[in-house]
């Protein structure tokens, strides 16, 4: 419609009228909001219309005004009849400007169709739907739209409640992420659990098998076997143990004294306690009482089983029946004893005759004289061997007896070294002896010990003829030592050389001997209340020494 031209005055008065109407409208809205009026006149297509908020009393309106949700009332044309401040805030338009606008204009383009359908349906039935509202910064905000019809005097209106779902959506999103993380962690845990279960199952089977293996093995070996804890308490015996001792399972906590021979018990317990303390191998020979009342010799050995930190978990012990070996050894000792005794007498007379002949040197043809000297040398060797054999059997029988008298070891060692120089003229003996070394001893036996050490030093240093002999004070003892620069000994060999008949099995350096010298020496020194030992390094040489208490 074309507007007729208006004069300036007419335009001014129209502008004033419009301003007045605007002020009036603002007042009205304020009045409605604050509950002062219950009705509203809206300019529609059919002219002015009056809307009354029939049911809305002041309390109700105040409540609507204060609520956190956006509350809007629209008419059939979709125009906003009423809005609370929260809705105006949501769409960022002053409250007074919201009234009269089409609600649809606040809906995101893409969800308008959906919105229109909801509104259409809402006139018949109350309904709810999620829609996208154009927010303050024109970004879509998810809202839950709840629609209810509202009966006003001038006809039906729709009440729309808009709940901002942003926080909820954020929370949902967060929850979803967390849930996903949880699910991931859960599946990882489940996988780990499965793996763990598999491992435990495998280990259990392994353990069962190894336990069965152990039992099978333990019950079928000819030895008696046991395991004991670090405190010495036994926690397993094999079947052979029960068969041998005649003890029954219930008597596991048996007293060791019950079955170990009283003579062997103190040494057994001493070694057992020492190995528990040090963690070193337990090894001892003793006699165990069999169920029929007979004692049999056994060799006991127990080794500790340690965990990866080196802590002892338990000990595994075995007792091997060595009764037969012991009896054979006894028979052998007996034979050696008798044989060496029987040999001694004819050897002595043989030597006597040879010495008689050698005294009549002048009457002998030239060549024979030499042979007689060689025969005497061989005979001396043979006598030493027989004497050693006799000593060994005496030691075994506990009959190596001799008296002790005061001995000046300073003089004795010098004399014995001098003797050695005659016996081994090709060797260079260095002798360092301290003054005034007095002891109580048997000089013949001590000479036997030193000569044995010297002859070994000579025998086992084929490439170096320098031997050092020393005698010095060491605390309350005298230490006599013989040092060579020969083949030396490994730690394992060092451990065993004082055993009876032990010889190092090295074909390269094999020389005559029966492995008796050091064994006899050890016994002799023990009878003097002293000790014997060796420092040695393979390929470098050895120092054999013995310590004897100073007289005083």
Residues in contact with ligand ADP by the rule CB under 6 A? 452, 456-457, 460, 484, 486-487, 489, 497, 502-504, 513-519, 542
Q: How far apart are CA 388 and CA 340, in angstroms?
A: 9
Comparison of 205 and 514: residue with beta carbon closer to ligand ADP: 514
- Helix pair 517-527, 443-459: axis angle to 10 deg: 150
- For 526, what's the count of Cα atoms within 13 Å in the CB-facing half-sphere? 11
In angstroms, what is the minimal distance from the CB of 402 to ligand ADP?
Answer: 20
Comparison of 287 and 522: residue with beta carbon closer to ligand ADP: 522
- The encoded tokens of residue 358 equal 């050698």
Three-state secondary structure of 13-61: HHHHHHHHHHHHHHHHHHHHHCCCCCEEEEEECCEEEEEECCCCCHHHH
Of 544, 545, 528, 534, nearest to 439 (Cα)? Answer: 528
In angstroms, what is the minimal distance from the CB of 472 to ligand ADP?
Answer: 20
Comparison of 412 and 487: residue with beta carbon closer to ligand ADP: 487
In angstroms, what is the minimal distance from the CB of 336 to ligand ADP?
Answer: 15
Max Cα distance, the chain (Å): 186
- Classify residue 107 by its DSSP letter: B
Comparison of 212 and 495: residue with beta carbon closer to ligand ADP: 495
From the CB of residue 510, how many other CB atoms can be counted at a distance below 10 Å? 10
In angstroms, what is the minimal distance from the CB of 449 to ligand ADP?
Answer: 10
In angstroms, what is the minimal distance from the CB of 446 to ligand ADP?
Answer: 16
User: If you count DSSP H runs as helices and E runs as strands, how many of each does the chain have, helices first?
Assistant: 15, 19
Ranked by CB distance to ligand ADP, the top (closest) residue is 513
Comparison of 317 and 517: residue with beta carbon closer to ligand ADP: 517
Comparison of 137 and 512: residue with beta carbon closer to ligand ADP: 512
Comparison of 54 and 459: residue with beta carbon closer to ligand ADP: 459
Q: How far apart are CA 298 and CA 295, in angstroms?
A: 9
In angstroms, what is the minimal distance from the CB of 309 to ligand ADP?
Answer: 39
437 neighbors 409 (Cβ within 8 angstroms): yes
**128 DSSP β-pair partners:** 146
Comparison of 369 and 500: residue with beta carbon closer to ligand ADP: 500
Q: How far apart are CA 324 and CA 329, in angstroms?
A: 8
Helix or strand holding residue 262 (H, E): none
Of 458, 459, 457, 485, nearest to 541 (Cα)? Answer: 485
In angstroms, what is the minimal distance from the CB of 493 to ligand ADP?
Answer: 7
In angstroms, what is the minimal distance from the CB of 292 to ligand ADP?
Answer: 40
Q: Going by DSSP bridges, is the β-strand pair 312-321/405-408 parallel, antiparallel, or unpaired?
A: unpaired
In angstroms, what is the minimal distance from the CB of 281 to ligand ADP?
Answer: 22
In angstroms, what is the minimal distance from the CB of 483 to ligand ADP?
Answer: 9
Comparison of 29 and 395: residue with beta carbon closer to ligand ADP: 395
Comparison of 344 and 494: residue with beta carbon closer to ligand ADP: 494
Integer angstrom CA distances of residue 197 from 41, 205, 206, 243, 371: 78, 12, 14, 41, 87
Reduced to 3 states, what is the DSSP secondary structure of residue 234? Answer: strand
In angstroms, what is the minimal distance from the CB of 501 to ligand ADP?
Answer: 8
**242-249 contacts: CB < 8 A, separation 24 or more?**
243/291, 244/288, 244/290, 244/291, 245/288, 245/289, 245/290, 245/291, 246/290, 246/291, 246/292
Q: How far apart are CA 387 and CA 376, in angstroms?
A: 16
Comparison of 114 and 494: residue with beta carbon closer to ligand ADP: 494
């Amino acid at each position: 419609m074309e507007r007729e031209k208006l004069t300036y005055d007419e335009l001014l008065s129209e502008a004033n009228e419009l301003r007045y109407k605007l002020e009036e409208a603002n007042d009205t809205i304020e009045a409605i909001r604050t509950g002062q009026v219950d009705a509203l006149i809206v300019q529609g297509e059919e002219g002015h219309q009056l809307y009354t908020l029939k049911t809305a009393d002041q309390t109700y309106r105040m409540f609507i005004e204060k609520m956190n949700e956006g509350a809007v009332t629209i008419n059939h044309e979709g125009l906003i009849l009423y809005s609370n401040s929260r809705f105006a805030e949501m769409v960022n338009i002053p409250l007074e400007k919201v009234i009269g606008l089409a609600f649809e204009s606040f809906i995101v383009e893409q969800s308008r169709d959906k919105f229109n359908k909801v509104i259409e349906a809402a006139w018949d039935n109350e309904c709810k739907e999620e829609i996208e509202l154009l927010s303050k910064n024109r970004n879509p905000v998810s809202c839950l739209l709840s629609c209810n019809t509202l009966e006003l005097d001038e006809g039906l209106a729709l009440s729309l409640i808009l709940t901002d779902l942003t926080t909820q959506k954020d929370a949902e999103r967060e929850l979803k992420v967390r849930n996903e993380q949880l699910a991931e962690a859960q599946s990882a845990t489940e996988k780990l659990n499965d793996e763990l279960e598999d491992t435990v199952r495998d280990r259990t089977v392994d353990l069962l098998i190894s336990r069965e293996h152990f039992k099978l093995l333990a019950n079928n070996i000819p030895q008696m076997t046991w395991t004991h804890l670090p405190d010495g308490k036994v926690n397993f015996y094999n079947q052979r143990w029960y068969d041998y001792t005649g003890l029954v399972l219930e008597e596991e906590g048996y007293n060791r004294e019950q079955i170990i021979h009283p003579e062997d018990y103190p040494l057994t317990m001493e070694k057992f306690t020492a190995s528990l303390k040090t963690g070193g191998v337990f090894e001892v020979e003793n006699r165990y009482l069999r169920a029929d009342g007979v004692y049999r010799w056994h060799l006991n050995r127990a080794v500790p089983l340690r965990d990866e930190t080196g802590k002892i978990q338990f000990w595994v012990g075995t007792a091997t029946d060595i009764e037969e070996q012991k009896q054979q050894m006894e028979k052998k000792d007996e034979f050696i004893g008798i044989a060496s005794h029987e040999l001694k007498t004819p050897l002595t007379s043989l030597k006597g005759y040879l010495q008689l002949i050698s005294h009549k040197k002048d009457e002998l043809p030239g060549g024979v004289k030499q042979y007689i000297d060689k025969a005497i040398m061989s005979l001396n060797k043979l006598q030493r061997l027989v004497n050693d054999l006799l000593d060994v059997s005496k030691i075994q029988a506990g009959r190596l007896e001799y008296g002790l008298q005061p001995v000046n070891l300073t003089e004795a060692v010098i004399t014995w070294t001098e003797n050695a120089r005659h016996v081994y003229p090709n060797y260079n003996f260095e002798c360092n002896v301290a003054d005034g070394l007095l002891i109580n001893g048997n000089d013949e036996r001590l000479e036997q010990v030193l000569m044995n050490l010297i002859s070994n030093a000579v025998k086992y240093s084929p490439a170096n003829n320098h031997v050092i002999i020393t005698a010095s004070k060491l605390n309350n003892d005298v230490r006599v030592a013989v040092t060579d620069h020969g083949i030396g000994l490994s730690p394992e060999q060092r451990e065993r050389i004082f055993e009876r008949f032990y010889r190092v099995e090295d074909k390269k350096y094999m020389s005559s001997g029966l492995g008796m010298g050091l064994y006899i020496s050890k016994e002799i020194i023990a009878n003097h209340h002293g000790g014997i030992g060796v420092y040695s390094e393979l390929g470098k040489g050895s120092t054999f020494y013995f310590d004897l208490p100073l007289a005083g």
